[in-house]
Structure 1
Amino acid sequence: MSHISVGFSLNMFRAVFEKVRDTLQIPILPKPYSYQGGSGMSTVTITLKGKARLENGTVDFIAPDRLRISELDIVFDELKLTIKLDIDEIAFGDECIIQNPINEKCIVNVPKKSIFEANPDVVIKFNLVPLVPRVELSFDLILDEKKTDGVPSHWAITGQPDLPDIEIDFADSLGDLIQEKLTQAIKDIIPGNSSFERVLVQKIRSFGEFVRNLLDVGDDIQEWAQRTLLNEIGLGNIIIGAVLDYYQDKLNATLFKIPNPYPVINVGKLKQCNGLEISLPPVYVEIDTIQAKVTDDYLFVNIEFSDIITKTLKGVGT
């Protein structure tokens, strides 16, 4: 039994990685996430839409059988957050807010009014790109040997994704920005007469508390925003899935492939001294196994050939 070994340098893999990396676009498609706000007083719908690309990143060989891609930056070209609130209607009015202390007659009366009658009542949109300053992805590819069926069949070295890890940083101002925008959007719904605002504040205590109740969060809107984006909308999983799916589609998860049986001699002709030609039919040798291993600088593929020749030489024109 004979064998050959083929080596691929780490620098070669890094060059291939950069070409694959630079062609990837990550779409973040809008998939609305909805839930009931505090005490059922609102329906909250959150949608995220955008697109991202990859920058930087390093590739290393980790003996005996891993390729590690680390510190891969996710750069957002677009990331738009939309929050919609469908708030239960609030009716108030025919209420005296300023009364004469002497005769108890009403000085300022608020006429009857209903607010939050639309659906949705509040829609805010803003750009999240400056509020997500860092997204970094790392993952391993575990080398595996696989034989595929077909004519011809193939032996392949594949890389199976493992240990994906993503780190997403959010600006500390994210929660405050959401609260400010929602508060202003609610105030914009209130009729221009300031008396309505005073009556509404009596009912809801404060706009800040009202917004938090609508979202069904405690005092920390920042924590709610991060949890919603990461766990409910799944921003990290969207990115990981897109990168790994792209790797699967682009490379078919295959790092090295060789046909089996392997053509040792292709079809051709050999001219003899007497001028006659010999036709050389193809000769194939079966591959028993292949094995991959890595060092710090190289990926080595060892190919073990069988002693079985599937087709032999045949002379023509003797």
Structure 2
Amino acid sequence: MAHFTLAVSERTFRRSFDLLKRNLTFAQADQVSFGIFVAGYDVQAHLEGGTIDLRNDNTISVREVDIRWDRLRFILSINIPEICVGGGCINMPWPIPDICLPRVCVFSGNPDVSLSPDLAAFVAQEVSFTGSVVARYFDTSIPLPSPDLCAPIRIEPLPDHNQWHIHIDPETIDVDLFDFPDIVGNLIEDALSDAIRAIIPGGFVRDIILAIIGGIADFIRFLLDIPDEIEEWLSDLFNVSFGLLDFIGTLVLDFFSSCNPIYAIDDPYELLPAEGGLIPVRIPLRNLSVRVNDVEMVAEVDIGA
């Protein structure tokens, strides 16, 4: 039988979770080459809202926590194959000089077109998970792993003394898919169309180039290998190609289960501080265990040498 039992009400547990959750912020950037174009992202976000419930089966349920995008920049660079028209000469009999046509080339840059719109205003996502609470012992004599994956998301510095840490341990995590609305597809298509039109000179050269590439909208879809709508292609990039959903899920898991305890208890625990020339009274804590029911979290611990 445990020597000491501590209970934390569901209301207090919710407040503790809310304080911890508010500190989960992250930033990430990456790019992927698809041959003729490079696509990437530069994002920053934090968590807001949501609910947490303690349940009788010794689990917790965290629902509908909002992912608030402070920055959701989509980066796209396209290296369009160069197209040249004109050039060459018509040989004329002497003494008539040869007739040479001017040569005009377009899409000679690298990249030819670049854009980086911030799409944060158009995306709303939530993350939910179920899990449990677990107790882990932090022993200062054990070296930290190298590299320390918790370092970028650890809220408080690690203590210089031993502690018991109580963690929320997510087991199943659900992150909403990126689902960009039609307006985002239209904005990107318009921006690309304007950029390509600006490259093509006017007059008969424009007519020749447009005859070669067809309509600009179809040309964009050909370059980016887009079978359907641009917003669907964009959603697929964020959901699959970029691996951003996996990153968010792993981040939430590590933040709560490994890097940031919801409660920390010193070992040994100080009952009375040093006072009047007397040394402090501390007791060692052993075999800490935690569980939840629908009204509270219960921690039980032995007191031992």
Q: Please confirm whether the aligned pair reaches a TM-score higher than 0.5, indicating the same fold.
A: yes
Q: Are the structure 2 counterparts of residues 56 and 265 from structure 1 closer, same or farther at C-alpha, using a change threshold of 3 Å?
A: closer
Per the alignment, do residues 175 and 202 of structure 1 end up closer, same or farther by CA in structure 2, a change over 3 Å counting?
same
Residue 18 of structure 1 deviates from its aligned partner by 2.5
- 1:125 is aligned to 116
After superposition, give the CA deviation of every residue in 1:126-156 in whole Å (9 maximum; x if it has no partner).
2212321x11111234222334445875444
Query: In the TM superposition, what whole-angstrom CA distance separates every residue of 1:208-234 from its partner, at most 9, and x where no partner exists?
Result: 221111112213322211111222223
Task: Give the letter for the 2:243 counterpart.
Answer: G
Q: Does the CA-based 8 Å contact 2:169-2:253 persist in structure 1?
A: no
Q: Alignment partner of 1:79: what SS?
A: strand
Q: What residue is the counterpart of 1:16 in the other structure?
A: 16
Cα pair distance change 1:268/1:176, threshold 3 Å: closer
Within 5 Å, give how 1:60-79 maps onto structure 2.
60-79=53-72
Within the candidate set 215, 228, 249, 1:240 is matched to 249
1:48-127 matches, cutoff 5 A: 48-93=41-86, 111-127=102-118
Distance in 2 separating the partners of 1:303 and 1:211: 65
What 5-or-longer segments of structure 2 have no aligned partner?
A: 89-99, 142-160
Residues 160 and 285 (structure 1 numbering): CA distance in 2 closer, same or farther, change over 3 Å? same
Q: Residues 55-98 of structure 1: CA distance to partner in whole angstroms, max 9, x if unpaired? A: 21111113333232221111222222221111111112269xxx
**Aligned pair in 2 of structure 1 residues 2, 74: CA closer, same or farther (>3 Å)?**
closer
**CA gap 1:46/1:303 in 2 versus in 1, 3 angstroms:** same
Helix, strand or coil at the partner of 1:254: coil
Matching residue of 1:175:
185
Partner deviation per Cα, 1:233-276 (whole Å, 9 max, x = no partner):
23333433444454468xx443344455656777678xxxxxxx
Q: Give the counterpart letter for 1:87 in structure 2.
A: I
Q: State how far apart, in whole Å, the 2-side matches of 1:12 and 1:222 are.
A: 43
The answer to whether the 8 Å contact 1:32/1:45 transfers is yes
- Work out the CA distance in 2 between the residues paired with 1:75 and 1:2: 43
How far apart in 1 are the matches of 2:34 and 2:272? 67
Q: Secondary structure at the match of 1:197?
A: helix
Give 1 or 2 for the bigger CA radius of gyration: 1
Q: Is the 8 A contact 1:267 1:281 kept in 2?
A: yes
Q: Which residue of 1 aligns with 2:301?
A: 303
Count, aligned residues: 274
Cα RMSD between the aligned structures?
3.1
Question: Which piece of structure 1 moves more, 149-158 or 228-237?
Answer: 149-158
2:73 aligned partner, one-letter code: K
Unaligned runs of 5+ in 1: 37-42, 96-108, 270-278, 311-318
Amino acid at match of 1:226: S
